[in-house]
Structure 1
Amino acid sequence: MALSFSLEHTDADSKARAGKITTAHGEISTPIFMPVGTAGSVKAVTQQQLYQEVKAQIILGNTYHLYLRPGIEILNKAGGLHGFMHWDKPILTDSGGYQVFSLAQSRKIKEEGVLFQSHIDGSRHLFSPEKVMDIQRNIGADIIMAFDECPPGQSEYNYAKNSLMLTQRWLDRCINHLNSTEPLYGYEQNLFPIVQGNQFHDLRKMSCEYVASKQAPGNAIGGLSVGEPEAVMYEITALCCEHLPADKPRYLMGVGTPWNILECISLGVDMFDCVMPTRNGRNGMLFTTNGVINIKNKKWADDFTPIDEGLPNEISHYYTKAYLRHLFVAGELLGLTIASLQNLCFYLWLVSEARKEIIKGTFTSWKNAMTEQLKQRL
């Protein structure tokens, strides 16, 4: 089945909206946060925990990493990533464009595609729009991303413009190739184009209009959260939401902190992903309903209160701050899992609460109060 999106409520005091995305592997209530499972695994967390504790509705995989390991042949034999990792809810795959430009040892951009060397073993590969579509067909994600160039955050105007023109030509090739091939696993995959254009308003507007003309089932905003000031990120996000279709889901790629997510929901974004919950968790930074905790600090050594009494999930109540700090100090792997689960549960709770507030008509006042609370350093 093709992806469908229905708008259920919009906020009177902002652009925030609540909706529902329907895919072949289930429904997704928006706004939504997608845990990042780059190589077929959300780091330090099992699939059972994602189902039962985190209550994830959709997760993200990555074309670049899955292409290199385990490889497309193995994924195809497993029936796609769903079968390989035993996950029967929706999956979105990033095209690998960002990883090609950020991880590869060397790269050469041509009209045909990008020649690069693997960051794992130095082997040489070519990613063309057509090949990236074929890789994602074998992965079998419900939502797949067009191949794009993600230019550096401080690119000059001419570079950003030439890059955008290339991304648009690659988008046409992605669409044409996908339309000329059949799904491998009996269900339709849904291509999201990616808006680029760096920090230049005219390029972003041009990109949004070009992307909108393709009438894709959803659209993504890329090239943000790459080092630009928060104010610029919000400014460009607002501009893109203004020019992207209101009847299609909007996905802001790679963003961000809890307060970033709340602000961007208020601007009209529906979907988010970021490695921050698990990466920061593995380094001892916890996001809680009361603020940010560095669990390694000595102040928590004899704090026997639950990690986060404000979260309605078992793990945040079961373990104490003192015990979790001990696990980190002792180098016990369980600490990484508990911290990752705390943060993922928090992110999914946050977008769920945002949805409730949008439906109630109280989102903006709630968002303002919540943002101030979440930024506190405990």
Structure 2
Amino acid sequence: MKLRWKKHKPQSEEFMTKSLIIVESPTKAKTISRILPKEYEVLSSNGHVIDLPAKELAVDTEKGFTLKNMVIPGKRKILSQISKAAKDADRILLASDPDREGEAIAVMIVRHLKIPEEKVFRVLFHEITKKGILKAIENPGRPDELKFEAQQARRAIDRLVGYKVSPVLWKKIKRGISAGRVQSVALRFVCEREKEICAFSSEDYWLIFSHLEAGRPPVIKARLVSVGSKRVGGTKNRLSDESRALEIQAQLRKESHSITDVQVKKARRSPAPPFITSTLQQDAARKLRFTAKRTMMIAQQLYEGVALGKAGTTGLITYMRTDSLRVSDDAIEGARREIARVFGPDYL
């Protein structure tokens, strides 16, 4: 069954007696409950409540790749709580995460509980702050059927690749290994790169550096780039003869060095762009040695809200699963105010 969402405006707030907000995370539910008045009830679905059964393929390839979704064991109580609260509410605000998975959670709950569509609205919380939450509630939309179908297509491919290809690997290679929509492609990239590394022929060459000082700091580190009129040390004119390199080194030790020219140039360096999911994980791995899982767990906590004393629980970052580099106008204006306050208007 497909829901055909009609475009209609939400009821005026003055006639609204009660709204139910459905989010994914219990932590997020608590944070939002502290921000909104008592007319809003906030419940958590604790992630997906409806999904494919774990022990069967559940994708009918003969009937248009229909998926056999069912209530996840242990989630019936949560669905019952949501159903009861939905009956008592004047409108339902689906506030699961603003991505494909969040859209699937929202649409599946509405379909399973058969909630009247005139009561259903979709709100997107890109940041868990009072301003961000109120702005989203003031501008509700409709569930995105196309995004939901995109999630279902991805889920079907996951199942078909994992459940159909993995058994072949057990027979051909060994039991216990698996294939996947993403992991198998990534493994191919890794293997191809490893072949390139193994096929690479290494070549020894020498670079010559001098540490120069004139009786006081700083010590200047200089690299030899030419001998007479002949350039050395570049990719096309490397010093590949060790005896020649040692000969030059010995000669340089006997020579006196002087600065013959000083060039002063202005350099402009742009700041790094805002994090997207991949660059966040890369920087956390490179600088903090975090795994991707740990990075996303911490980012989730920062997004859902952290206790800040008198300020209460506040979300500190925007939604972390994104490929967008866009920064909200409010965030830019806030950054400009802080820069002006700390460093002065000349730095804007």
Give the TM-score normalised by structure 2: 0.23
**Structure with higher strand content:** 1
The structure with more radius of gyration: 2
The structure, 1 or 2, with the larger RCO (C-alpha pairs under 8 Å, 6+ apart) is 1
Give the TM-score normalised by structure 1: 0.22
